[in-house]
Copies of this chain bind each other. A is one copy, B any other.
Amino acid sequence: MAAAGRILSEEGVRNLSMRRLAKELESTPMALYHHVRDKDELLLLLLEAHAAQFPRTEMPSEPRDQLIKGAQALHDILTECPWIVEVLASDDLMAVSALWIVESIIDGAIRCGMTPEQAVYAYRVIWYYTAGELLLRVARGKHYSQPDAGAHREKAFADLDATQFPRLSSLAELWPTLTSRNMHRSGLIAVIDGLLRQTVG
């Protein structure tokens, strides 16, 4: 696990393979299969280790604040291992060490006045938004190695027909505004308030 974490932090997910890990351990790829069932299990163990280390924060008593804080924690805990989202996708329940976050979100939603059905629905919407941010970050990281990272988009804007796309062509320099944690957080609040208004008025 330590070796895997080392590769992950030093060379990125893209370079974490069973073969590469075996090399790091000066062993053979097959030896690993005596400790994990497959690569996914290895990744889930890495998430579990990471989540266990993540400090479990106190939750605010105000239900809306709890919803926001829970959703923010969901994002924060995964921001250092966004690659895991792809593995998590199949059974969209978190690692056991992070289940308190899901519990907090559902609890906050219900205490805001949502029915259990609405709370699950709200969790899903929040999860899509969060997973989208994380998965796009990973995807961006993959293409980011190429030299034409921003150049491609710049060219697309330059080629834009201003009469056909008046709004877009005026936004060329505004577009690449950095997608920061602040942007994620205010989006999260908009999403949560939108959900609250829709379900409990």
A-side interface residues toward B, CB under 8 Å? 40, 85-87, 89-93, 96, 99-100, 102-103, 106-107, 110, 116-117, 119-121, 124-125, 127-133, 135-136, 139-140, 142-144, 146, 149-150, 152-153, 156-157, 160, 164-168, 170-171, 174-175, 177, 179, 183, 186-187, 189-195, 197-198
Cα–Cα, bound, A92→B135 (Å): 13
By a CB distance below 8 angstroms, the chain B residues around A160 are 99
User: Least Cβ distance of A184 to chain B in Å?
Assistant: 8
By a CB distance below 8 angstroms, the chain B residues around A189 are 194, 198
Q: Is the Cβ of A193 less than 8 Å from the Cβ of B191?
A: no
Of the A-B pairs whose beta carbons lie under 8 Å apart in the complex, a sample of 23, sorted by A's number, is A40-B143, A89-B136, A92-B136, A93-B157, A93-B175, A100-B165, A102-B168, A106-B168, A107-B167, A119-B167, A119-B171, A124-B179, A124-B183, A125-B187, A128-B132, A129-B132, A132-B132, A135-B135, A189-B194, A190-B194, A192-B194, A193-B198, A194-B197
By a CB distance below 8 angstroms, the chain B residues around A142 are 86, 90
Cα–Cα, bound, A143→B87 (Å): 8
Cα–Cα, bound, A192→B187 (Å): 10
Q: Is the Cβ of B152 less than 8 Å from the Cβ of A91?
A: yes
Cα–Cα, bound, A59→B129 (Å): 25
Q: Of the candidates B92, B116, B167, which one forms a contact with A170 in the assembled complex, judged by CB atoms under 8 Å apart?
A: B116
User: Least Cβ distance of A75 to chain B in Å?
Assistant: 11
Q: Which 5 A-B pairs have the closest CB atoms?
A: A194-B194, A132-B132, A89-B139, A90-B143, A128-B132
- 7 other A-B residue contacts (CB within 8 Å) besides A119-B171, A193-B197: A116-B170, A125-B191, A128-B129, A129-B132, A130-B132, A135-B136, A189-B194
Q: Of the candidates B121, B143, B194, which one forms a contact with A193 in the assembled complex, judged by CB atoms under 8 Å apart?
A: B194
Q: Is the Cβ of B89 less than 8 Å from the Cβ of A175?
A: no
Q: Is the Cβ of B117 less than 8 Å from the Cβ of A174?
A: yes
